[in-house]
Structure 1
Amino acid sequence: MRVRLAFLLGSCSVIFIVIAYALFEACDSRIVALCAIPVAVACCLFGLRIASLGALSSLLFCASLVTLHIHTLHWSSLLVEDFAFGMLAPGVVLICFGFLWLPFSRHASAIAGPQPQHGVQQLSQSYNKQQLEEARDQFLMSVSHELRSPLTEIRGYINLVLEHGDQLDEATRSTFLQSASYGCDELELIIRNVLDMSQVEKEGKPIYIQELPLAATIAEICEHIYLQEHTLELSISPGLVVLADRQQLRQILRNLISNACKYSPAHTEVVICASLRKDNTVCVCVKDEGAGIEAADMPHLFQKFSRLKRDAASSVHGTGLGLYICKQFVEGMGGRIWVESEGIAGQGSRFCFTLRQPDVDR
C-alpha cells in the first residue's frame, strides 16, 4: 500500500509536468518547483527508499509514454529540452532529500536503540529463557520426587527384612530383597541420566565403539533389568553384529524398557525386536501396550526435560531426560531414533533406533 501511494504521488509530478508544458509550452522555475512537491511529500511520508521506487517508476513510465506521443503534440526541440529538464526535477529532489535525510535517520536510529525486529528477537530469547527456567524447575521437582520414591521403597523393604526376617519364609525374603535391588537400579538410572546429560552438553561423552553380537548383548542387559509386573519377550534375528558402545547401548535399553514398564498397565508384555534393514543398518525396537502417543506430542519427546502433559498430571513421574539421553547416544553412534504410535490406548508405542554394522565401514 505504501509503495502504491508513493507511485501515485510520483505520477502526480509527471502529470503536473505534462499539463504545464502542454498548456503553457514554456519552462518556468515555479513549474519545476510545483512538480517536485509530490515527490517531497512522498519522501516525508514513506521515507527515501519507497518514495524513490514510486517516483522513478512513474517517471520512467510517463516519460516513455510522452516520448511516443511527442510528435503529436507538435512541440519544438527547445520545448522538448525544457520538458526533459522538468522531468529531472523530482530526481533532484530525491538526491537532495537523501543527503539531508540520511545523517538524520542514522542519528535517530542510534537514539531510538534496537529496531523492532531486534526487539522481537529479544522477546523471543527472553521467552525461550523463561521456558527453559520453568523446565529446569520442573526437572528439579521431578528429580527430587524420583529420588525419594525408590529410596522410600528401598528403606521399606530393608526394614521389613531386618525387623521380621525370622518370621519371613525364604521366597518372601527374596522378593523383598529383589524389590530393594530394583529400587537401587532405579536410583542408579536417574543419577546416571543426570550425569550423562551434564557430560554430553559440556564436552561430549566418550564413545568406545566395538563389535557386539546383538542377541547375546541384549539378553545379557535384560537379565539385570527388573520388570516388576511385566513380561519381556525377545525377538532378535540371529547372527546380527553391530557397532556400538556397550555401556551406552545398555543405558538406551534401560531407559526404553523402564519407560515401557512405567507407562503401560501391569501384567502386559514388553517386546524387544531387532532386524536388518534394507540400508544395511540394524533396527532395534521396544514395544509396549500402553496408552500410545499422539502425533502432536511426538516432536517433543526427545527434547530435554520434556514430558507429556497427561503424564505430568498423573501418578507416573519422570525426569524428562531418558529419551533425550537415548537420542544423544544413538546419534553419537551414527544411528537415529524415532517413535511409532497410533495414539490408541492398548496398542501402545514402538521406540526404534538404528545401529551400524561392521561391514558398512569396511
Structure 2
Amino acid sequence: MWSHLLTSWPRLFLRLPLALKLCICGVCFIACTAIYYWTLPFTHTGYILAVPMLLSSWTFNRYGAFCVFVCNIGVLILYNLLIYHLAPLTPTYLYSLLGSVVVLLIEGYLMCTLRSMLDATEEAQRHAEEAKKQEHDAYERQRQLNQLKNQFIINVNHELRTPLSAAYGYIEMLAHLLEQTGHLTRDLHGVYLRNALNYCDELRRLVNNVLDTMAIANNRGDLAVENLQLYRIVYDMVAQFEMLYQCHNQVHTRISRHLFVSGNAHCIRHILYNLLSNAFKYSPNMSPILIEAGTDGEQVHITVSDRGAGIPPQEQAMLFEQFARLPQDLAGPTRGSGLGLYISKHLVEAMHGKIWVESQGIPGIGSQFHFTLPGIVKMQRQFVPAPQTPIPAPGPAILN
C-alpha cells in the first residue's frame, strides 16, 4: 500500500486544481527563499532553491522550470545587492552562485524530461485503452449483427415457408382435381386459386420488404408524390385483408371521403399493409381493429388501433429499428422478419411525415400506431385515384 502510494502521488499531484498547485508552488518558493537568505552566510550554498525548481518543473513542465529559474536568479542577484552592496565578490560566493545555477539547470532539465516521458507514457496508455475499447465495441457490434442476421434468417425462413407451402398446397390440389375431372369450375375451385394468389402476394411482399430495406440503405432518392384520396387506399387494403385473413377480426374505419394527402400511393399501401398485418397477427380472433384519420393542422393523422397484448413502454424505442423483434415474440408462435416497421418509418419520413406508437403494454388495451402525411387543403377537381381496383360494395361505413 505504501509503495503504491509513494509511486502514485506524483501523478495524483498533477490532477489537483490549477489554483491549488499554484498556491503550493508559491508557498514552497517563498519558504525556500527565506531559508536560503537565513542559511547562506553559514552554508554558502543555494541548493535549497532546488526544491521549488523540482516542484515547479514537475507541475508545470518547461514553463514552471523557466519561471522558477528566472526567480531564483533574481533572488541571488537581490541577495548580492542587499548583503554585499555590489562589493567585490569572494571566490566562495562565486563558486556557490555558479554551482546553484548549474544545479538548477540540470535539475530543471531532468525533471522536464521525466515529466515529458510520463506524459508520453500516459498518452500511449490512453491510446491503447481507446484502441482496446474500440476493438471491444467493434466486436460487440459484430456479435450483435451476427445475432440479428441469424435471427433474421430464421424468421425469413419461416415467413417464406408458410405462404410457399400453402400456395403449393392449393396449386397441387387444383392439379390433382384437374387430373381427376379433366376440368375446373369457377364456383367450386375458384376459391382455391384466389387463396393461392393471396399467398403468392404474401411471398411477394416478403421479398419486397428485403429489397426495400436494401433500397433504404442505398438511399435511392426522393419519392414521387401525388394528390391522393385516402379512403380509397384504406378500403383497398381492408378488402385485401378481409380476403386474406377470412374476417378473423372486425375492421372498423373512420375515414372521410374529403380527406386528401400528398404522398406516394405504393408507399402508403405498404405502410398500411405492415400496420394492419401486425394488428391481425397480434390481436385475438374477432377483436376489433380500428383505422381512423383526421386533420391535424397541415398534416393528416392516421391511426391503426388493435386490442392485442400491447407493447411495454421500455421496448417501444426499438420497434422501428432494423430486424427488431420483441423478446416475447422471439420465443412465441408469431413470426416476422423485423423489417416492416423499419421500412414504414423510412417511407413515412420520405413523405415528410412521422410515425410513432402508443401503448401501455396491457393485454386487451392493445396498441395504437400513428403516422402523419402532408394534407391537401384545396384539391383540384382532377386527381389520380390511389387504388387500381374498385372499392368493394360490402364494407365498413364511410363518414361523409
TM-score higher than 0.5: yes
Name the residue aligned to 1:220.
Answer: 236
Check whether the contact 2:53–2:108 (CA below 8 A) recurs between aligned residues.
no
Q: Is structure 2 residue 376 aligned with structure 1 residue 358?
A: yes
Pairing partner for 1:273 from 282, 292, 299:
292
Supply the distance in 2 between the matched residues of 1:217 and 1:328 (Cα, whole angstroms).
19
Name the residue aligned to 2:197.
Answer: 181
1:226-305 pair list within 5 angstroms: 226-228=244-246, 229-277=248-296, 279-305=297-323
Check whether the contact 1:39–1:94 (CA below 8 A) recurs between aligned residues.
no
Instruction: Say what the alpha-carbon RMSD is for the aligned residues.
Output: 4.0
Q: Deviations over 1:264-318 (max 9, x none)?
A: 11222221111111x3200111111110000111110000000001001011110
Amino acid at match of 1:114: H
Q: Is structure 2 residue 330 aligned with structure 1 residue 317?
A: no
Q: Deviations over 1:45-65 (max 9, x none)?
A: xx959x97xxx9xx9xxx9xx
Report which stretch shifted further, 119-128 or 105-114: 105-114
Name the residue aligned to 2:37.
Answer: 25
1:31 Cα deviation from its structure 2 partner = 1.2
Name the residue aligned to 1:332.
Answer: 350
Amino acid at match of 1:25: Y
Q: Is structure 2 residue 153 aligned with structure 1 residue 140?
A: yes
SS of corresponding position for 1:114: helix
TM-score, with structure 2 as normaliser:
0.70
Check whether the contact 1:280–1:360 (CA below 8 A) recurs between aligned residues.
no
TM-score, with structure 1 as normaliser:
0.76
Pairing partner for 1:35 from 52, 66, 72:
52
Q: Deviations over 1:170-201 (max 9, x none)?
A: 77745444432331121111011011111121
Check whether the contact 2:229–2:257 (CA below 8 A) recurs between aligned residues.
no
Check whether the contact 2:54–2:111 (CA below 8 A) recurs between aligned residues.
no
Pairing partner for 2:223 from 207, 232, 241:
207
Q: Deviations over 1:106-148 (max 9, x none)?
A: 8758977934234323322331232122212211221111111
Supply the distance in 2 between the matched residues of 1:284 and 1:318 (Cα, whole angstroms).
23
Check whether the contact 1:199–1:205 (CA below 8 A) recurs between aligned residues.
no
Larger Rg: 2
Residue identity over aligned pairs, in percent, reads: 28
Gaps of 5+ in 1: 64-74, 80-87
Pairing partner for 1:151 from 153, 156, 164:
164
Report which stretch shifted further, 2-11 or 30-39: 2-11
Supply the distance in 2 between the matched residues of 1:16 and 1:114 (Cα, whole angstroms).
35
Question: How many aligned residue pairs are there?
Answer: 328
1:77-156 pair list within 5 angstroms: 78=82, 96=109, 100=113, 104=117, 114-156=127-169
* Distance 1:77-1:351 versus aligned 2 partners, 3 A rule: farther
Supply the distance in 1 between the matched residues of 2:108 and 2:373 (Cα, whole angstroms).
66
* Distance 1:114-1:37 versus aligned 2 partners, 3 A rule: closer
Supply the distance in 1 between the matched residues of 2:376 and 2:186 (Cα, whole angstroms).
47
